Structure 1
Amino acid sequence: MRGPHNIWRLIRTGATFERTGAMTVVLDQIGAPPALRALARVLGVPFKWLGYEGDPALPPVTRALTALGPSYIKFGQILSTRPDFVGDELALQLRVLQDKLPPFPTEAARATIRRELEVEPDALFSEFSEPVAAASIAQVHRARLAEDGRKVAVKVLRPGIARAFRRDIDAFYLGAWLMETVAPSTRRLRPRDVVAHFDATVQQELDLRAEAAAAGEFAANTARDDGFTVPQPEWNLLSRSVMVLDWVEGIPMGDVAAIEAAGHDRAALADRVMAVFLRHALRDGYFHADMHQGNLKVTPGGDIAAVDFGIMGRLDEYTRRVYAEILMGFIRKDYRRVAEVHFEAGYVPADRDVDLFAQALRSVGEPIFGMDASRISMGRLLAYLFEVTERFGMETRTELILLQRTMVVVEGVSRTLNPHMNIWSAARPEVERYIRENLGPQAVARDLWRTGLVLARFGPHLPRAVEDALRGRRGGTVVVAAARPRGLPAAAWFAAGAVTAAAAAAIASVV
């Protein structure tokens, strides 16, 4: 991690940030202490002439990251999801960071296909185009399968990209270590954890088999969603560096004029973008976390099609229920309930005052609800909410920050289609549906049923456990004997009968 090449890369990085004017912006945004500012100047000022100039038309930070290459562009995109680390203003700048790079030669892509799939490209494809899109990690070609003539998208990793990323990530780890060593106060930002998160994300994107699996899971989850479609992977044409999916015909979501000219209902599309995002996040706990305009198309039939599944988000079932209750509490302006949900979930320490917290939440909600409908933003609501909860001792929750970042992007897409849309009107049906299906009597019965199934697996051991418990009386106290199967808590044996009976009763009452 601390080899000469990593030190040289950090010097080149510091020099580029100095030359583009990005160094001051970054240090100010993260509230860097004097020791860290001094280290940055040492790495940058004396070697400023070694830095890349970049595109002067870009803002300083995006200019520097773009000049430094694919690893830095991707790192900037990841940091845009962490306003807790880089600050809200810088995170906003990084959200518009583009990773469009010059394509690599088509023959190099064909060579990768030949090597990875062990077959001649001409035997697989009757047509194979020049690159139609090129990003920091891979590029896409349009092709036609020789077997049945179907149009497909062929995604191929850039040659040598894994090695290049590995080199830069090692330098990032060194930079994070220097930050924590020279300025211990920065440890609260957990820079090494941020780099580790980036490392894990990139490693997944560098294996197209993982993206194909993500596309397959997302397609299965959304198969019955009207007005939304996901391309299916060709599982027999898949490797670490090559992925083939159905080709999606359609108008890019950002081309509003073409959408209008095609006769599509822009207002309906805007509402649907917001609705499907919330449906996937709440119903499935698995959502497309990079839903910008370049990754969404409007098909000739008016469906919304999603592409590029390198960044996906997950929410466990408990977090989804908490999140839905928080959203619904704000929609109903029930700030006391929103506060109670935070305490019940353990997000806020129990020793804090729930009434003061509810009052603070009111200060978040009321100004937003007082806005004109076209200016109301759930993304802004969540951002303000995180600020308040942080003051009350809530720790950073990465999955919720990713959700909030994605919601901001989705709102931007929706409002591009319909600047006057009411975000709450689009969101409320999905939130209410989720609450109705997952927080009512049927949900209680379902939870008890699942609990009963878990306990039922230990059913063969129950008679012996009860007998051992009854035979283990000592001085009038029941003691569970050692015959209990290892790994099952003693309390489970005494709870098993009661919980199973309760589950059966609850289910019977619903059915």
Structure 2
Amino acid sequence: MFEIPVTRHFSQIPRYQEILRVLVQHGFGSMMNLLPINRKWLQRLRPFPTTAPQTLPVHFRQALEELGPTFVKLGQVLSTRPDILPPTYITELARLQDAVPPVPWEAIHAVLRSELPISLEQIFTSIEQTPLASASLGQVHAATLTNGKEIVIKIQRPHIRAAIDTDLDILQDVAHYTQQYTTLGKTYSVEEIAADFAVTLLAELNYLREGRNADLFRENFRAQAGIYIPHIYWEYTTQRVLVMERLRGIKVNDISALKATGHDCTQIANHSAYFIIKEVLEDGFFHADPHPGNLIVLADGSLGVMDFGMVGHLSQRDRTDLIRIYTTAVRMDANGIVDELVHIGAAPPDVKRHALVRDVTRALHNYKGLPLQEISVADALETIQHLVFEHHLRLPSNLWLLGKSLAMMEGVGRQLEPDFDIFAFSKPYVGKLIRQTVLPNRHQVEKLLHQTLIWGDILDEVPRAVLLLLSRLEKNEPIPLALTNQNLSVLDTLVTRLSLSLIIAGMTIGLAFVISTLGETGVWFQAIFIPLFVVTLALGAWVMISIIRK
């Protein structure tokens, strides 16, 4: 019927047929040209009549939803890759629906029984058979423990792992073929995308990981009033079952109910803003799916946060890079933004810099003169998506997750308080991080001193190494290099200049650190150190000119 040589098992052929049927019927038959599939078989698959270009993004989303959990999750991942898909597709994939009809209670009950070490009657006094929520990977049931505590049980769908394994095998096979035989596959490294997606999806199937994520959030926000993370019951939690404290309250976007019960919507908006700012700027570990369904307002006005299956990580380097890009954008410096994109590896070596600077300048011009409260994170994200797609930029996926998370939380904040300004709220926290980034701390000073000592040892060894080399030459001993008098003269000059350059560099860095830490109170010290700094720079310039002339 069709020939795909990379198929691992004949049992996967029906699933291949189903995937191809759905894609072709939704108007994506042209995608099959990438694969060695029998064209006569494809012709028997009648596409939907409405496949105009403007409707293709909608059909793509519908096809992914029809193909099931693996492809829904794939769509969610692709929605963070504007370097691959056009903005219209990215926007449409944000509407992906993960809600599906629930599995019958008997099948879910069997999973629960098989996962827990003792009988259910010894753990629960009651379990509601109708789920509170049903998603593609699992469903959530309310229950009560024998000690009277109200909890929720997240139970994985039966046989979901086998179905996902089959889909992942197919995706990896197709990615391998596409990368090996097509320019498109090589350009976007589709094998790497498929491998990363497999790791992400399999991790989401492990509820132990989700429980650990919840514990880490709970620890990070333990001392913060206004934010509440539910408790995990580890004695009943496994890879396929997650038992956690039940939170009762009002959905964060149910504004009329919040006002009717006397809640302060502005205060709740501040709680939501503080949650995203702290997790990003301080912790570097953030909730990647903070939609209103995962946020609940408790009776005391605290913001309850749920569902920790999707999280993102930001290293200290990532946060520093973000601050640099942010401050450059505030200065409306298009060239500076492009420099930062090159610095973080987002712009390829062959990027058309002039065109990129031009488009960044136009994008910045749209925001020129606007107060920050009138700038929407979602609008800015859409602008960035267009730039990324047009210029083949590759921003790290964790930054896209962060952008989507910020846009969601901004939407929540503005539902609660129409004049909500996340930029104004975050200003003191951003300023604190900028000071930490720019001003030297004890660790940075110790690192500088350590590097200075290392270079001191190297410089101390250079004369002995040169003397040893000269000694071997005098004794006519064999050496790996045949040096002439001219070579030795050049070597001596290079060593001298290297030593002088290192000394000047060390003085320059040291003086810069000292001056930056003096502040306004160190006026007399600045009068001493700034001239020294200028003299050191002049010496450095003299050395560089000397090297260039030689």
Please say whether Structure 1 and Structure 2 have the same fold, judged by a TM-score greater than 0.5.
Answer: yes
2:28 maps to which of 7, 23, 28 = 23
User: Is residue 295–residue 304 contact of structure 2 (8 Å, CA) maintained in 1?
Assistant: yes
Task: Report the counterpart of residue 195 of structure 2 in structure 1.
Answer: 196
Task: Report the counterpart of residue 52 of structure 2 in structure 1.
Answer: none
Task: Measure how far apart 1:81 and its partner are.
Answer: 1.7
Report whether the alignment pairs 1:255 with 2:254: yes
Task: Measure how far apart 1:348 and its partner are.
Answer: 4.7
User: Is residue 346–residue 396 contact of structure 2 (8 Å, CA) maintained in 1?
Assistant: no
Matches of 1:176 and 1:416, distance apart in 2: 41
Q: 1:454 to 1:205 in 2, by over 3 A?
A: farther
Q: 1:40 to 1:233 in 2, by over 3 A?
A: farther
TM-score (norm: length of structure 2): 0.73
Aligned residue identity for 1:137: L
Task: Report the counterpart of residue 225 of structure 1 in structure 2.
Answer: 224
Secondary structure of 2:262's partner?
coil
User: Is residue 127–residue 141 contact of structure 2 (8 Å, CA) maintained in 1?
Assistant: yes
Q: 1:389 to 1:79 in 2, by over 3 A?
A: closer
Task: Measure how far apart 1:339 and its partner are.
Answer: 4.7
Q: 1:466 to 1:337 in 2, by over 3 A?
A: closer
Once the two structures are overlaid, the 10-residue window that deviates more, 347-356 or 444-453, is: 347-356
Q: 1:158 to 1:389 in 2, by over 3 A?
A: closer
User: Is residue 127–residue 145 contact of structure 1 (8 Å, CA) maintained in 2?
Assistant: yes
Aligned residue identity for 1:290: D
Secondary structure of 2:304's partner?
strand
Q: 1:393 to 1:85 in 2, by over 3 A?
A: closer
Task: Report the counterpart of residue 15 of structure 2 in structure 1.
Answer: 9
**Residues 237-265 of structure 1 deviation map (CA, whole Å, 9 limit, x = unaligned):** 22111111221122122323322322323
User: Is residue 7–residue 171 contact of structure 1 (8 Å, CA) maintained in 2?
Assistant: no
Secondary structure of 2:233's partner?
strand
Structure number with greater Rg is 2
User: Is residue 368–residue 381 contact of structure 1 (8 Å, CA) maintained in 2?
Assistant: no
Matches of 2:237 and 2:201, distance apart in 1: 19
Secondary structure of 1:192's partner?
helix
Task: Measure how far apart 1:46 and its partner are.
Answer: 2.0
Secondary structure of 2:110's partner?
helix
Report whether the alignment pairs 1:236 with 2:228: no
Task: Report the counterpart of residue 367 of structure 2 in structure 1.
Answer: 368
Matches of 2:403 and 2:39, distance apart in 1: 34
Matches of 2:314 and 2:402, distance apart in 1: 9
Matches of 2:327 and 2:466, distance apart in 1: 52
Task: Measure how far apart 1:124 and its partner are.
Answer: 1.2
Once the two structures are overlaid, the 10-residue window that deviates more, 325-334 or 165-174, is: 325-334
Task: Report the counterpart of residue 441 of structure 2 in structure 1.
Answer: 445
Task: Measure how far apart 1:35 and its partner are.
Answer: 4.1
Secondary structure of 2:319's partner?
helix
**Residues 82-113 of structure 1 deviation map (CA, whole Å, 9 limit, x = unaligned):** 22222211111111211112222334444333
User: Is residue 35–residue 182 contact of structure 1 (8 Å, CA) maintained in 2?
Assistant: no
Which structure 2 residue ranges, 5 or more long, are not aligned?
A: 1-5, 49-54, 471-498, 519-550
Task: Report the counterpart of residue 138 of structure 2 in structure 1.
Answer: 138
**Residues 273-315 of structure 1 deviation map (CA, whole Å, 9 limit, x = unaligned):** 3442132112111100111111111112222221111111011
Once the two structures are overlaid, the 10-residue window that deviates more, 270-279 or 304-313, is: 270-279
Report whether the alignment pairs 1:475 with 2:467: yes
Q: 1:17 to 1:419 in 2, by over 3 A?
A: farther
Q: How does 1:87-236 map to 2 (within 5 A)?
A: 87-130=86-129, 131-146=131-146, 148-181=147-180, 183-236=182-235
Q: How does 1:76-87 map to 2 (within 5 A)?
A: 76-87=75-86
Matches of 1:354 and 1:99, distance apart in 2: 40
Secondary structure of 1:152's partner?
strand
Matches of 2:38 and 2:366, distance apart in 1: 40
Matches of 1:80 and 1:440, distance apart in 2: 34
Q: 1:471 to 1:285 in 2, by over 3 A?
A: same
Q: 1:190 to 1:406 in 2, by over 3 A?
A: farther
Task: Measure how far apart 1:185 and its partner are.
Answer: 2.9
User: Is residue 142–residue 153 contact of structure 2 (8 Å, CA) maintained in 1?
Assistant: yes
Matches of 1:383 and 1:261, distance apart in 2: 35
- Quote the sequence identity (%): 26
Matches of 1:141 and 1:310, distance apart in 2: 17
User: Is residue 18–residue 45 contact of structure 1 (8 Å, CA) maintained in 2?
Assistant: no
Secondary structure of 1:61's partner?
helix
Secondary structure of 2:234's partner?
strand
Q: 1:178 to 1:42 in 2, by over 3 A?
A: farther
Once the two structures are overlaid, the 10-residue window that deviates more, 83-92 or 41-50, is: 41-50
Aligned length: 470
Secondary structure of 2:441's partner?
helix
Q: 1:350 to 1:476 in 2, by over 3 A?
A: farther
Q: 1:118 to 1:42 in 2, by over 3 A?
A: farther
Matches of 1:468 and 1:440, distance apart in 2: 32
Task: Measure how far apart 1:469 and its partner are.
Answer: 4.1
TM-score (norm: length of structure 1): 0.78
User: Is residue 83–residue 388 contact of structure 2 (8 Å, CA) maintained in 1?
Assistant: no
User: Is residue 215–residue 231 contact of structure 2 (8 Å, CA) maintained in 1?
Assistant: yes
Secondary structure of 1:104's partner?
coil
Task: Measure how far apart 1:404 and its partner are.
Answer: 2.0
Task: Measure how far apart 1:235 and its partner are.
Answer: 2.3
Matches of 1:349 and 1:83, distance apart in 2: 15
RMSD across aligned C-alpha pairs, in angstroms? Answer: 4.1
Task: Report the counterpart of residue 290 of structure 1 in structure 2.
Answer: 289
Matches of 1:455 and 1:227, distance apart in 2: 44
Secondary structure of 2:235's partner?
strand
